[in-house]
Structure 1
Amino acid sequence: MESSIDPMMTLAPYLVGLTLTNLALTVVFAALLWSDRRPYLVAWSTAWALYTLGNVLAVTSFVSAGLDAPELIGVLTMLSANATLIGASFYLRARWPWRWLVAESVGVAWAVVAGAALGLPLLVVTLPLFAVLGAWLLTRGVQLSRLSGVGAKVAGAALCLWGLHALDFPFVGHLEWVRPWGTMVAEVLITVIGTGFILMHADGTRLEAERSAQRLERFFDNAIEGIFASTADGRFVFVNRALVEMLGYERPEDLLGLNIREDLYADPEERDRIIAEHGERGILRAHARLRRADGEEL
């Protein structure tokens, strides 16, 4: 006696795991969006909320015989894919993807007419829509993969694979045994893309901070006045070139190793008075006698 096992029931535990992973990604995107309202984070937060909702509906359909909503899940997946790609466009600082959206809308309209009204085969119904979606995914994937950083490489590669996967749906989507595995492939790629996007955001934030610090350092180095930052116990954290020259040293590193109170103040107790007054009144102007590298007072 032969028995058949539903592939979806076999894959259900893995889909549950991916659903929980996408839920975690949704929480991470929401947390990032809470402190940073960049357009691409808005789009990606929306995308992963929709992905997670679609996953929950899919898992629920496995355990509840009364719930069967493939059309709704398909709509959620399409909307979330669009939000993903729109966010990628924002990240790449590309123009609003009107052409892609118009072409996709035409594909959706054709699918509705050809499928519901004309009853044409799946290949004819879905090929225009998935051709546009696949091409859009491949385009953004290639663009992201050209960026530096592990996150961009990971997200770009996964988008390209998802694009190829979208292109094969019109040809194999009618095969019952293919659909469960196709769903799992798409869910895995979506999870990888989300992880890559989060890494991209972290890389971008770090690079922006480094560039900002470099610009600030160049600004201070080009100043004609001596500028420095120090710790409370009297150690330099940063000195600009003007201060180095003013005090008669050759390199900033020569100052970073000094104790400000003992090595630079002509009267060490004068620094104590300035620090005490600074604590009471906040930022203030103060005059002090400093000792240059050659021993002369400044």
Structure 2
Amino acid sequence: MRLGTLRRGRAADALPGVSGVVRLDRRTKDLTKRLNSGEIAVIDHTDIDRVAADALVARGVIAVVNASPSISGRYPNLGPGILARADIPILDNVGADVFGKVKEGTRVRVDGECLYVGDRLVAEGRQLDEAAIAEAMEDAKAGLSTQLEAFAANTMEYMKRERALLLDGVGVPDIRTDMEGKHVLIVVRGYDYKEDLAHLRSYIRDYRPVLIGVDGGADALREAGYKPAVIVGDMDSVSDETLRSGAEVIVHAYADGRAPGLPRVQDLGVEAITFPATGTSEDIAMLLADAK
């Protein structure tokens, strides 16, 4: 990426770098609502995610100045790569004091590792180009496995410790699906779920885990060519066809036993059991897998 080849505005034509009106907000989501094409965004966003990057690209920003690290190394986030591929320069990790040095609506210039207001240097950081992003992503990927293992262990430990709170004394229901000694894969239909399942294809083939779909996650499994063994959820975002696919259906109910999703399943002629709990459907899917 060559910052020196990008110029904006008549007043800045003689100066290197990228010039434009600046918009500032510590919340990227709020900032994208008022950004205009050709402006420079100043954000405070550790680990810029794909959704935020897509929104910045869609708004037509010409540069991004981040007070925080765009890639912290905790996990391989996709946002910086999206910005780089859109030829949007990133001035990274300039520090939070930039918000006190630059006023909304003024004209600023990003040149290399520097941010200027007129001829005055107001902040310095790191020019996060494609090479730097690739290197940081490799480092993040190297440590991801360890962090995922720690996260999974901590999550299950928390859920075991708070089981009484989550279940309010009701307990995990008995189900017919055998999970004893088997891997269990819980699928939630989120961002990039198709790509995620594609990446897991070899794991599913080799380990043949019990497949649990949480609401629309069950449809995601079937779209990918798999058959969910268990469907868990409120039953508000899973298709009739998937509910009739032969999977064991567990309807998430309130702690008092009310299950708004149960009549829909029963109207389809599908047998179901309820799981009263105060947590999310993802929570009870994990509790179910751990208990069985």
Does the TM-score normalized on the shorter chain lie above 0.5?
A: no
TM-score of the aligned structures, taking structure 1 as reference length = 0.25
Give the TM-score of the pair, scaled to structure 2. Answer: 0.25
More helix by share: 1
Q: Say which one has the larger Rg.
A: 1
